[in-house]
Amino acid sequence: MKTYESENIRNVALLGHSGSGKTTLAETMVFESGTSRKRGTIEAKNTLSDHNEIEKDKQKSVYGSLLHLDWRGTKVNLLDTPGSSDFYGQVSEAFSVADTAMFVLNSESGVEIGTEFFWGKAEKEGIPSLLIVNKLDSENSNFQNAVDMAKERFGRGVVVVQYPYNEGEDFHAIIDVLKMTMYEFPEDGGRPDKLPIPESQRAQADLLHNELVEAIAENDETLLDLYFENGELDEYQMINGLQMSIDKREIFPLFCACASRNMGTGRILGFLGNVAPSPLTRKMTLTNGEKYKIDQDSSPSFFVFRTSSEAHVGDLTYLKVTGGSIKSGMDLVNRRTDESLRLGTLYINQGGKRIEVEEVKTGDLAVAVKLKDLIPGDTVTGKGKDLEFENINYPNTTMRVALKLKREGDEDKLGTALNQIQKEDPSARVEYSQELQQTILHGLGEEHLNVILYQLKEKYKLDVEFIKPRIPYRETITKRVDSRYRHKKQSGGAGQFAEVYLSIEPWQEGMPERDDLNVRDVQEIDLEWGGKLVFQNCIVGGVIDNRFMPAIMKGLMEKMSNGPLSGCRARDIRVSVYDGSMHSVDSNEAAFKTASLMAFKDGFLKANPQLLEPIYEIEVTLPAAYMGDVMSDLSSRRGQILGMDAEGSIQKIKAIVPLAELDQYTTRLKSMTQGTATFTRNFHEYAPVPPDIQKRVIEETLAREEE
């Protein structure tokens, strides 16, 4: 395999809503370049991208895929990404190494929710972007509507470079207003004939050509002067101007294609080779927030953007070279762990196939095998090089399930499998909850979680099922009570004796001190599960020795971590020890721990205990047509609408909703909106649950304990 110089490399992320045709476009581009002799199809289940069995079964992308092609001496690395929100973690990895973002729009539906999400990430990362309107042969194709939506959503920087001569079933020609040429394609696609623009299209082509020229000239003073002087820019000047404007995200060129019939892909490849930025223009962010321009003359380094494992191969590490060049046998250092590693064989990926290479230069993407303890986001450098890149920003999870093994004895095997899955897919999160006594799996949606379940069953041979996860409620109290407990035990030999008097009250920030207590010492404990325990020693006259105070605190903390009401953790309580008694022989730490625990429990249950539930702030992004249904559904979930924003035809609803009402919300939202809506969620606060729900939770807890 040829080794490419950095300036002849293009790293392109293919992005778009599910169904826009990204995988077909990637397949056609590789075929059109001559890198592949056969063009696969999703229906035949033989595309280079969707090579995993689960992708073939679903006939959709589940994992990101790395492909490459050679276009007239330029190597184009294609990062084909899933369009479903359940697999947005794969998109985050592509963004971390892409130098160009190519957005694929379905000509029937234009800008969809997924495209909106991806555009926001590209904007945040400052990645140069272009748009492809695909599927122009569709019966309901509407190119102009797609253009209008793109301009409305992404601004006046969207400029038409190509438009279809005709669309729908008769689609066969594209008019290019940069080259002022019409490309007419044979019936089965491929190499087009270059023809003059028909007279019927001349006015439209001239109008769009002038708009393109003006957009280019506006962003460069030199070109603007030339434009005013000559009234035109030549093709060379326009390409130079485009390069600068695209790199600064001032212009977003829009092209046409029908990927399934191989129409328009060659022109897109030519544009990528001639105009799209090389990796040497890309600045990556370091952990200290500074921008770092990758350097082909520096010592070797690379950034890990994905890991996976395969039977008979072992660990695979997907990487981008960020300095110098790397070769097999090099000794390098993992900056996260400071551990040395030696590079084994290096490969260039073609979907599920790999081609061995001797050397990989700055900016190129490659795969290394059998490197241990590397995870996405790791930086690997030569010894003594002080360099570490910012970690990959994965989306927050939106759905959770609990895992239940059907066969005892597989607990260790399950733990090993989950650790490996989370290593390969950091957008999934595993929580071993002692509080809930469950293993909780967090993901980006039902499909995402089902893919993990598929892996557990097929790859790791585990008999496991999903069950409903419990809610991490919190307990507190709403009024002050005094409580006492005498612990007395005598069973031969030394006995146990302790008596404590507690005043238990709700705690809140800034509450006044008690006038009726002689407070000798105060401890404010920030609880690991949120909230506080404020412990006050108010003992006078030595009725309880100071050495027993830690034992009293220990009893309180034990019951706080396993609340009296439902077994959930308690918070925001002030406890004052104000009296008690002890025995010179029989009092010990164990006795005082038991006495304080029981006094706290009895007092807690008399202090109008209140169950608190986790509340999440959510933002739903959806087409306007579904606003009524979604808002009605949120109300039925005890949701409170905070506000609404409109951005063209895209709507955003902000609301706060209890976690108990969100566990299946992803699935319901997709069902209501035909898969067009997405949502994000972030923890907001703990708030009191309604009385009927509190009663039900307590009853369920008692039933579970009896069982």
CATH number (domain holding residue 650) = 3.30.70.240
Our count of domains for the chain comes to: 5
Asked if residue 394 is part of any domain, the answer here is no
Q: What is the pLDDT of residue 702?
A: 83
Report whether pLDDT(399) > 90. Answer: yes
Q: What's the mean per-residue pLDDT of the chain?
A: 92
At 241 the pLDDT is 82
Q: What are phi and psi of 365, to 5 degrees?
A: -110, 140
Q: Residue 47 is part of a domain; what is its CATH number?
A: 3.40.50.300
CA 153 to mean position of chain CA atoms = 22
Per the DSSP assignment, residues forming a β-bridge with 440 are 402, 431
CA-closest candidate to residue 520, choices 544, 502, 538: 538
Separation of alpha carbons 157 and 180, rounded Å: 20
- In angstroms, the first-to-last Cα distance of the chain is 64
Q: Which DSSP letter does residue 111 get?
A: S
Are residues 515 and 434 located together in one domain of the fold? no
Contact criterion met (CB below 8 Å) for 475 and 612? yes
Residue 353's domain spans which residues? 285-381
The amino acid at 153: R
- Segment 535-547 shows an average pLDDT of 93
Query: Could you identify the residue written with the tokens 């009725």?
Result: 543
Which CATH number does the domain housing residue 519 bear?
A: 3.30.230.10
| Amino acid sitting at position 369 | V
Kindly state whether residues 51 and 160 are assigned to the same domain: yes
Note the pLDDT tens digit of each residue in 247-301. Answer: 999 999 999 999 999 999 999 999 999 999 999 998 899 999 999 999 898 999 9
The single residue listed with the structure tokens 């439902």 is 566
Distance between CA atoms of 639 and 632, rounded to whole angstroms? Answer: 9
Please check whether residue 375 lies inside any domain of the structure: yes
What is the token pair recorded at 106? 């379905």
Nearest to 440 by CA among 486, 480, 400: 400
What angle do the packed helices 411-424 and 446-458 form, to 10 degrees?
A: 130
Q: Let me know whether 274 and 289 are in one domain.
A: no
Last residue of a domain, one of 443, 470, 497: 470
pLDDT in the model for residue 218: 80
Q: What does the alpha-carbon distance between residue 246 and residue 251 come to, in Å, rounded to a whole number?
A: 5
User: Quick check: is 586 in a domain?
Assistant: yes
In a domain, 292, yes or no: yes
Specify the pTM: 0.89
In the chain, pLDDT over 70 holds for what percent of residues? 97
3-class secondary structure per residue, 374-416: CCCCCEEECCCCCCCECCCCCCCCCEEEEEEECCCCCHHHHHH
Which pair of tokens denotes residue 318?
Answer: 């997907």
Which pLDDT score is estimated for 706? Answer: 74
Last-in-domain residue among 563, 584, 607? 607
Verify that 11 and 46 share a domain, yes or no.
yes
Would you say residue 388 lies in a domain?
no
- What residue type is 448 in one-letter code? H
Q: Among the listed ranges 304-313, 370-379, 637-646, which one has the minimum average pLDDT value?
A: 304-313
Q: Are 504 and 603 in contact (CB under 8 A)?
A: yes
Q: Are residue 129 and residue 174 in the same domain, yes or no?
A: yes
Q: 213 falls in which pLDDT band (50, 70, 90)?
A: confident
pLDDT at residue 227 is higher than 60: no
| Chain CA centroid to CA 445, Å | 11
223 pLDDT band, cuts 50/70/90, is low
Whole-number pLDDT of residue 489 = 85
Q: Is residue 299 part of a domain?
A: yes
| 447 and 319 in a common domain | no
- Determine the Cα–Cα distance for residues 681 and 517; give it in Å rounded to an integer: 44
Q: What is the pLDDT of residue 228?
A: 63
Please say whether the beta carbons of 638 and 658 come within 8 A: yes
Q: Domain boundary at 223, 246, 281, which?
A: 281
- In angstroms, how far is CA 206 from the centroid of its own chain? 43
Confidence of residue 582 (pLDDT cuts 50, 70, 90): very high
> What confidence category does residue 704 fall into, taking pLDDT thresholds of 50, 70 and 90?
confident
Is there a single domain that holds both residue 294 and residue 417?
A: no
Inter-CA distances, 184 with 32, 139, 178, 198, 431, Å: 16, 20, 16, 11, 57
Integer Cα distance of 470 and 431 in angstroms: 12
Same domain flag for 355 and 277: no
**Residues 91 and 170 both lie in one domain:** yes
Based on the domain organization, do 585 and 661 belong to the same domain?
A: no
Does any domain span residue 17?
yes
Are 293 and 275 part of one and the same domain? no
Task: Quote the tokens at residue 690.
Answer: 């309604």
Same domain, 339 and 241: no
Domain membership flag for residue 324: yes
Rounded average pLDDT over 498-526: 93
